[in-house]
Amino acid sequence: MSELVSDDLIAAVRAFNRFYTRRLGVLEQHLLASPFSLTEARVLYELAQRDNPAAKAICIELGLDAGYLSRIIQNFQDKGLIVRQASAEDRRQYHLSLTAKGRLAFSRLDRSSHDEIAAMLSRLQAGDGERLVRAMSTIERLLEPSAAAPAARLRDPRPGEMGWVVQSHGAFYAAEYGFDASFEALVAEIAAEFLASFDASRERCWIADIEGAPVGSVFLVRHSDEIAKLRLLLVNPAGRSQGLGRRLVGECIAFARQCGYRKITLWTQSILVAARKIYQDQGFALVASDPHRSFGQDLIGETWEREL
């Protein structure tokens, strides 16, 4: 397999490794002007984050040689940073915990790390910090695909993200269902109307965000004094498997109740099976269907409603 990887790619990764280790100062004998090496600091972090971990568990987590870890632990014990107790289940194993002195040492190291990273990020231009974190996340997911996906959060849209909503809908529906440009035009019209006549007391847009990058959206807008309309629900592939569609629709329902609406209505297409399942699970009922020719396709439009 390795022979298929170009020398240029290998050289680029090695160059990045050299840059990154130098940039974070991990080549120094001691990390962040502390008395600890990088490995010792990592072990100290694991001890601070776990409840009386077994030495073997730390060895496995960090991929350390057992003898090397044993020397670190003995050093920590000699300095009064940890105590260790034999395991009740297996006397050959022992559990570790930080002493008050050890917790203080970790606290100082943790604060130094926080301040060092904060200083580095503060020198970046606006928005570059989030770009950096997204790039790091990409590296992590590519090199360790089994790692858990970062959790999504729901937030208000940022300036410029209505363009993302339009582009994402246009690209997704063209690729998945063959919709033509007239659908993207409709989404642009809905987004423009929302911006032009936005009523914060009765309307809202939610953006689903993973590490600063939008991965989904939904709108709740005023249809009449008693009826709200749910529009532009979308979760792109990067945000799936977290139940984001249900979360977004649930936010719409809760907000509509808070605003005093009596009912929520929405218009969708029969071919959008996943979306229809979400609406059904969230208490919406199909009240009307109508065949039509739109977006370059023969479709069956559906109206769904939910009483509040």
At residue 1 the predicted structure's pLDDT band, cuts being 50, 70 and 90, is: very low
Q: Does the pLDDT at position 27 exceed 60?
A: no
In tens, the pLDDT along 245-279 reads 999 999 999 999 999 999 999 999 999 999 999 99
Q: Look up the CATH number of domain 2-123.
A: 1.10.10.10
Among the residue ranges 33-37, 57-61, 152-156, 160-164, the one predicted with the least confidence is: 33-37
69: CB partners within 8 A, 6+ apart: 43, 55, 58, 59, 62
Burial category of 126 from C-beta neighbours within 10 Å (exposed 0-12, middle 13-18, buried 19 and up): exposed
Decide which of 37 and 206 is more confident.
206
CATH superfamily of 153-307: Gcn5-related N-acetyltransferase (GNAT) (3.40.630.30)
Q: Where are the domains of the chain?
A: 2-123, 153-307
- Count of beta carbons in the 10 Å neighbourhood of residue 24: 16
User: Tokens 């297409």 belong to which residue?
Assistant: 269
231: CB partners within 8 A, 6+ apart: 190, 218, 219, 220, 221, 266
